[in-house]
Amino acid sequence: MSLSKRAAKAAEIAREPHLYKICEGCDSIVTQRVATCPSCHGYRFNPDPAAVVKQAEILGSREQTSVLTEDLL
């Protein structure tokens, strides 16, 4: 995903942080409805909206470093 797309997604998350949570295993941002992280299969999350906004700003300002399922196809 390009940096501009990551920044746009981060801004979308920051507008409604209550819809998201942070995986405590890999620091990915996931939707509130997931029970396990699709990236690392972790099950512990930080739902604090302020933390979600801060993490979105961090992730939206740098290139992707994690490997996603679609990268392995």
| Mean pLDDT of each 10-residue bin along the chain, 73 residues long | 85 97 96 95 97 95 72 69
pLDDT at residue 63, rounded to an integer: 77
pLDDT at residue 64, rounded to an integer: 75
pLDDT at residue 12, rounded to an integer: 95
pLDDT at residue 4, rounded to an integer: 86
Question: 13 burial class (0-12, 13-18, 19+ CB within 10 angstroms)?
Answer: buried
Please give the model's pTM, rounded to 2 decimal places: 0.83
pLDDT at residue 26, rounded to an integer: 93
pLDDT at residue 67, rounded to an integer: 67
| Sheet of strand 29-31: strand arrangement | 29-31, 20-23, 45-46
